[in-house]
Amino acid sequence: MLALGKLLELTLAGREPTEKIQLTRQGVRLHWLAEGALEVTPAPGEDAGLDLLLSAGLHGNETAPIELLDRLLHDIASGTLLPRARLLLLFGNPESIRRGERYVEQDINRLFSGRHEHTSGLEALRANELEHLAASFFGKPGRKRLHYDLHTSIRASKIELFALQPYATGREPNREELARLQAAGIEAVLLQKQPGITFSSYTYAHLQAEAFTLELGKAMPFGQNQALDLGRLERRLRQLIESREPPAVETDGLKLFGVAREVIKHSDEFRLHLPADVQNFSELSVGYLLAEDIAGTRWVVEEEGARIIFPNPRVRNGLRAGILIVPAAL
């Protein structure tokens, strides 16, 4: 196998490869662009017109997606997976991956769409670099653009595999992409209703890619993801890469949710009235006092069928401490 196929090993060791460009026996080109960043170009005459960005490890303790990308790249480098799509594979936050921690200084997935310009530090610099890498990759006209940003959740979830669809003015969810997600084993999609500052929000709103954040089970250390079944997703990604994907048209079984409200932590006085082990997609009854903060601020559940996702009272002041969601339809 080519040395560049060991991108994860290089990233974990903090090493830069001696050779930046290598070719497989079939003529597939691997190009090391930056730490944790590898571009894959199909062999001459084999390009089917898709630009596919796969990112993982924006949070360094979310290892199942990192291991998934590592398997795909190993097979590309060894010649057993033959890409007909251009690929950009990104391990998002190398230093936090090496430490096995969610982040080093601040949450990198809250620093996109220019937000990194208003702060400093390791993650701000990396968010800026990731934006430039994605913009360059998606800079070729007349091609299909797709971005999956792969994550795992801090906590367990009643719906284990789900996606977040970013929002952009003038764009609507693409039914074909939703059908593709369902075929890949995604059980639910949260349709966001305002611009975001995540990586997938950036590629969706600013680079006109179809883009999703995929939440794939609970965060576990390297080598401890055996209980998580990503088989359907991995098969679909391999089919996408090789341009042999069967049609996906059904979305009847896909659960759709919309954002009712975001719970924003304003101060150190913030209190979230949920058990510490509450799962994503837990249902909340009307009238439930969800959270309190300074100046008498209260979040009381008013929505029928409301559920909570991403509850986290330990975020920095000014950031989202949870999302109230409700069932939705296209």
Active site residues: 215
- Phi-psi group of 17: left, alpha or beta (phi > 0 → left; psi -120 to 50 → alpha; rest → beta): beta
- Please tell me whether residue 180 adopts helix, strand or coil conformation: helix
- Cα dihedral value 275, 280, 285, 289, nearest 10: 50
Q: Give the amino acid at 289.
A: L
Neighbours of 179 (CB within 10 A): 17
Distance of CA 252 to the CA centre of its chain: 24
Cβ-contact 130, 90 below 8 angstroms: yes
Neighbours of 328 (CB within 10 A): 16
Label residues 97-112 b or e (16+ Cβ within 10 Å = b): beeeebbbebbbbbbb
- The tokens for 4 are 């560049």
Quick one: angle between helices 231-242 and 175-183, nearest 10?
120
Q: Give the amino acid at 268.
A: D
Cβ-contact 62, 111 below 8 angstroms: no
Residues near 121 by Cβ (< 8 Å), separated by ≥ 6? 104, 105, 106
Q: Give the amino acid at 19.
A: E
